[in-house]
Amino acid sequence: MAIAIVTKTCCRCKKALSIDTFCKNKRYTDGINRTCKHCISSYEQSPKGKATRNRISKRCVESGRHATAMRKYHQSPHGREQKNSHGRNYYTLHPTEAKARSALQQAIRSGHMPPARQYDCLQCGDPAQEYHHTSYAFEHRFDVIPLCMNCHKNIHKSSTRDRVLAASPICKSRIFP
């Protein structure tokens, strides 16, 4: 006859707490983590916890385990469903952006427009990796600026967007003679 555990003592704060305040963990014989959710959360928010998380994630990315795990997840039925629902939601919420990106990808695949990697980033001068749309309108869907990934990310994060948008885009008239 199994005995139901009602409380457990947290190994960090030393308080006897309800089982609901602990995460599940298959490694332990009782199937419950040793540290309560509050202590885990406070540790993850601390500088030491953030440094540990960054170090571990960096190690996983460098070793390729992260990419392998993500690939495996996206091949699972749940991962496929999540990926597909994200795509459906994006196209539903942002139809003009999705059509502009699709048209640009089609132009690159068909050879009507060179890939971004043939240009240098207009911000920093490094090799470009992505195009940035200046406008998603139908008549401006090919008005794009070649940027490296870091500059493209920074444009969407900060106020440098106005400076870059003022730069002349590599537009349809220059690419398609």
User: 122-163 pLDDT, tens per residue?
Assistant: 888 888 888 988 888 888 888 888 988 888 888 877 755 555
Structural domain harbouring 160: 95-175
Give residue 153's identity as a one-letter amino acid code.
K
Kindly state whether residues 41 and 108 are assigned to the same domain: no
Kindly state whether residues 61 and 106 are assigned to the same domain: no
Kindly state whether residues 107 and 57 are assigned to the same domain: no
Answer for the pair 148, 125: CB distance below 8 angstroms, yes or no: no
pLDDT band for position 173 (cuts 50, 70, 90): very low
Kindly state whether residues 102 and 158 are assigned to the same domain: yes
Cα–Cα dist 71/87, whole Å? 17
Last residue of a domain, one of 17, 47, 66: 66
Q: Is residue 133 assigned to a domain?
A: yes
pLDDT band for position 21 (cuts 50, 70, 90): very high
In the chain, the number of structural domains is 2
Answer for the pair 41, 49: CB distance below 8 angstroms, yes or no: no
Cα–Cα dist 87/65, whole Å? 25
Kindly state whether residues 59 and 100 are assigned to the same domain: no
- Least confident range from 23-27, 69-73, 125-129, 144-148: namely 69-73
- pLDDT at residue 50 greater than cutoff 50: yes
Give residue 134's pLDDT: 82
- Ramachandran class of 95: left when φ > 0, alpha when ψ lies in -120 to 50, beta otherwise: alpha
